Amino acid sequence: MSQGVEWALHTCLNLSWLDAPVPTGTLAAFYELPPAYLNKQLQALARAGILTSTSGPRGGFQLARTPAAISLLDIVAAIEGPEELFQCDQILRKGPGEHAGVDYRQSCAFAQAMRGADLAWRRELAGKTVADVRADVERGHPEAPANTRARIVELR
């Protein structure tokens, strides 16, 4: 699974503590990440409607909706794409007893099982939002929001 997912998750959490656009360079410096490559990931989040981007001075990225409306699945899907983990290539098409026109992505027992596991994974991710994670973090580290805000203005 792509590296950018972790960057996107933590960056979204940080943005949830801020209410003004933050440029890529500042967000990258926060974790010492390559700025241009982080920018690429944030572009994907913007295309997915999770972030909004504003150009020019005082521009940058900010959350497009409330943290409670952003699930971890939204972020993962924005970076990794909407495809399932297991892609059925229907090799049964080449086997014996094949009925042309059958969609083995639906009828193959293995494809069904893999899809079931995929759905269980997605259900877990869809059930956790950025707001949930933020609450967990603030419970364990009440100073985190202030620290983050301070570091961001320090890096501007």
Partner DNA sequence: GTAGTTCTACTCGGATAGTATCTGTCCGAGTGCGCCCGG
Partner DNA sequence: CCGGGCGCACTCGGACAGATACTATCCGAGTAGAACTAC
Binding residues vs DNA (CB under 7 A): 2-4, 21, 23-25, 34, 36-37, 39-40, 42-43, 46, 53-61, 80
In this structure, the chain runs to a length of 156
In the complex with a copy of itself, the residue whose CB is nearer, 20 or 113, is 113
Three-class DSSP category at 98? coil
Q: By C-alpha distance, which of 75, 80, 56 is closest to 64? A: 75
8 A C-beta contact, residue 53 and residue 38? no
Choose the contact partner of 39 out of a copy of itself, DNA, none; CB within 5 to 8 A by kind. Answer: DNA
Choose the contact partner of 23 out of a copy of itself, DNA, none; CB within 5 to 8 A by kind. Answer: DNA
Q: For residue 91, give the DSSP letter.
A: G
At 93, the amino acid letter reads R
In the complex with a copy of itself, the residue whose CB is nearer, 30 or 61, is 30
Burial 97-118 (b: 16+ CB within 10 A, else e): eeeeeeebeeebeebeebbeee
Q: By C-alpha distance, which of 72, 82, 67, 80 is closest to 123? A: 72
Write down the least CB distance from residue 119 to a copy of itself, Å.
8
Residue with tokens 């990794």: 80
In the complex with DNA, the residue whose CB is nearer, 34 or 116, is 34
Sites of contact with a copy of itself (CB under 8 A)? 1, 3, 5-7, 9-10, 13, 30-33, 72, 85-89, 91-92, 94-97, 107, 109-110, 113-114, 116-118, 120-125, 128, 133, 136-137, 140-141, 143-144, 147-148, 150-151
Choose the contact partner of 37 out of a copy of itself, DNA, none; CB within 5 to 8 A by kind. Answer: DNA
